[in-house]
Structure 1
Amino acid sequence: MEEIAKDRSELLKPPKAGEIVRGRIIGRGRSSIFVDLGSWGTGIIYGKEFLLAKDLLKKAKEGDELFIKIVDLENEEGFIEVSALEADREISWLKLKEKRNTAENIMVKILGANKGGLLTTVMGVNAFLPVSQLSSANYPRVEDGDAMKILKELQKFVGQEMEVKILDLDPRGEKLILSEKIKETEKIKEILKDYKVGDIVEGEITGVVDFGAFVKFGADSLEGLVHISELDWQLIENPGDVVQVGEKVKLKIIDISNGKVSLSLRALKEDPWKTIEKTYEKGKITRGKITKFNPFGAFVEVAAKIQGLCHISEFGTRQKMEELLKIGSEYDFEVLLLDIKEHRLLLKLVL
């Protein structure tokens, strides 16, 4: 970043292209502004630079001081070409960097929304607030994760003000990323010192999404996530089939990191796999119902909350697999592998 000349004594030094200095307006033309640069001479903002900075300069008058950036040390008319807009941008980025380093809270007005988050400006710089950086209170909980439904929820914030902090910035790439939840995270980290992995807590389901469920728990209404894989021992397609918003539940804390709490419902349920070792020994024939196809093969329910996989390689192609098997129908299968610890059951269709 070019050095900013902060006082008149620095103006005695030879000017450099790209340097930001302070000047005083001494005159205006129809599409130009003349700036006194002391012993350096006279600077001029004109042409494209004048048009780009029109809004910035519309209230400027003779005698006003402003920061400008040296563009050309001498043009054909003998003036030093300068830019007010570039200087304003660079100074804005410097101030934004300072705000990030000091973790200063900033009030912004939401100007727009897209599927990824909210749009706003800070000190004239375009900024983005990702969905993932919204506070728990404002995070859009859409059950099926539909992008258009998420956008509809985000659009409700347009016109509203939010208190945020700067998460990241890149002046060269002109990227300014904001976070609403940073301040919340700092408070949560302090509260979480009273909890540890393995604790049992009681909570309430506050949101159901395609990847799991959000739960509020504890006296401070902390929020944690129950991943879809931690809802139950059985394979789950739709979390809404297992839990509902408003439902009271008991959970186990399985991870605490970076202010985030991971919870489990299934950890407090008896593991059905522990009792099936003799029933599904390698080589045994068992009856099972087809529940789902995926690129790896067919999922087969052999008992309540127990599903195995008949691998695609047993058929050669998915088309062949779907010709032989129908979802909802029952068939005989041979047990190829049972791994109780990893909850893996590999099967082969008995023809």
Structure 2
Amino acid sequence: MGGLPEHPELWAFLESLTPGEALSGTVAAIERFGVFVALDEGPAHPLFPGVGFITYPELAWQRFDKASDVVHVGQRVTCEFLQFDTWNLEARLSLRAMQPDPFQEFADRVAVGQELRGEVSVLVPFGAFVRVADGVEGLVRRQDLTTGPAVADVVRVGEEIAVVVREIDLGRRRLSLSLQQERPAESR
């Protein structure tokens, strides 16, 4: 669409929005590329089911398989306005921004070196992700798990294991873990 000037009312509405502002509306459609929201305020979109749009990463802090695990058509939502997408004439929104960040809350109460218990949630070629709190997963690297051919030989999805916090990277929202018995010695 490229910022169609023939929709001056919509353009003016979107330009009037401020990043961080809360906008309410109703989930109008769930697509494979994101979620459309029909906003309570402002004009309708000339082509799309809603002026508001939420990309998948902005739906929730937690991992999910499909958008319908988080929202459903007809659901009322309040989102944070991120930016005016001038190409599509959309208000880019974040639903997760309206919820506390579980990673930040975790980082505020946990320290490097702390022992935790968690459930193995996903096995990947480079290690295993372990859920240590609601919405918080950390990676135990493959080399910390096994020298054998497969991570699955050591841990299974759903298994509860003891881990140690190696690193908390707030900027990248990454948590590095090791197995409790693999904790590095003081002399290393």
TM-score under structure 2 normalisation?
0.78
Which of the numbers 45, 65, 82 marks the counterpart of 1:254? 82
- Deviation of residue 319 (structure 1)? 4.8
SS in 1 for 2:14: helix
Q: How does 1:12-23 map to 2 (within 5 A)?
A: none
After superposition, the Cα gap between the structure-2 partners of 1:186 and 1:288, relative to the gap in structure 1 and judged at 3 Å, is: farther
Determine the C-alpha separation between the residues in 1 that align with 2:26 and 2:123.
33
- Deviation of residue 318 (structure 1)? 9.1
Counterpart of 1:270?
100
Determine the C-alpha separation between the residues in 2 that align with 1:223 and 1:245.
15
Determine the C-alpha separation between the residues in 1 that align with 2:108 and 2:97.
23
C-alpha deviations, 1:191-248, integer Å up to 9, x for none? 3122222221111112223443221212313523212211122222222111111111
Counterpart of 1:227?
55
C-alpha deviations, 1:23-68, integer Å up to 9, x for none? xxxxxxxxxxxxxxxxxxxxxxxxxxxxxxxxxxxxxxxxxxxxxx
- Deviation of residue 300 (structure 1)? 1.3
Q: Would you say the 8 A contact 1:203–1:250 is kept in 2?
A: yes
Counterpart of 1:99?
none
Q: Which has a greater percent of helix?
A: 1
C-alpha deviations, 1:100-145, integer Å up to 9, x for none? xxxxxxxxxxxxxxxxxxxxxxxxxxxxxxxxxxxxxxxxxxxxxx
Q: Which runs of 5+ in 1 are unaligned?
A: 1-180
TM-score under structure 1 normalisation?
0.44
Determine the C-alpha separation between the residues in 2 that align with 1:317 and 1:205.
48
Counterpart of 1:331?
161
- Deviation of residue 183 (structure 1)? 7.7
Counterpart of 1:171?
none
After superposition, the Cα gap between the structure-2 partners of 1:339 and 1:183, relative to the gap in structure 1 and judged at 3 Å, is: closer
C-alpha deviations, 1:154-193, integer Å up to 9, x for none? xxxxxxxxxxxxxxxxxxxxxxxxxxx4586752434312
Q: How does 1:7-46 map to 2 (within 5 A)?
A: none
Counterpart of 1:203?
25
Q: Would you say the 8 A contact 2:104–2:170 is kept in 1?
A: yes
Counterpart of 2:184?
none
Q: Would you say the 8 A contact 1:335–1:348 is kept in 2?
A: yes
Q: Which runs of 5+ in 2 are unaligned?
A: 45-49, 182-188
1:216 correspondence with 2:22: no
After superposition, the Cα gap between the structure-2 partners of 1:323 and 1:271, relative to the gap in structure 1 and judged at 3 Å, is: same
Computed over aligned residues only, the root mean square deviation of the Cα atoms, in angstroms, reads 2.5
Range moving further from structure 2, 202-211 or 261-270:
202-211
1:305 correspondence with 2:127: no
SS in 2 for 1:276: helix
Determine the C-alpha separation between the residues in 2 that align with 1:186 and 1:316.
61
After superposition, the Cα gap between the structure-2 partners of 1:309 and 1:184, relative to the gap in structure 1 and judged at 3 Å, is: same
Counterpart of 2:47?
none
Could you say which structure has the greater relative contact order, defined with CA pairs below 8 angstroms and 6 or more residues apart? Answer: 2
Determine the C-alpha separation between the residues in 1 that align with 2:93 and 2:118.
31
Determine the C-alpha separation between the residues in 2 that align with 1:295 and 1:225.
34
Q: Point out the structure with max Rg over C-alpha.
A: 1
Which of the numbers 277, 289, 293 marks the counterpart of 2:119? 289
After superposition, the Cα gap between the structure-2 partners of 1:239 and 1:293, relative to the gap in structure 1 and judged at 3 Å, is: farther
Q: Would you say the 8 A contact 1:295–1:312 is kept in 2?
A: yes
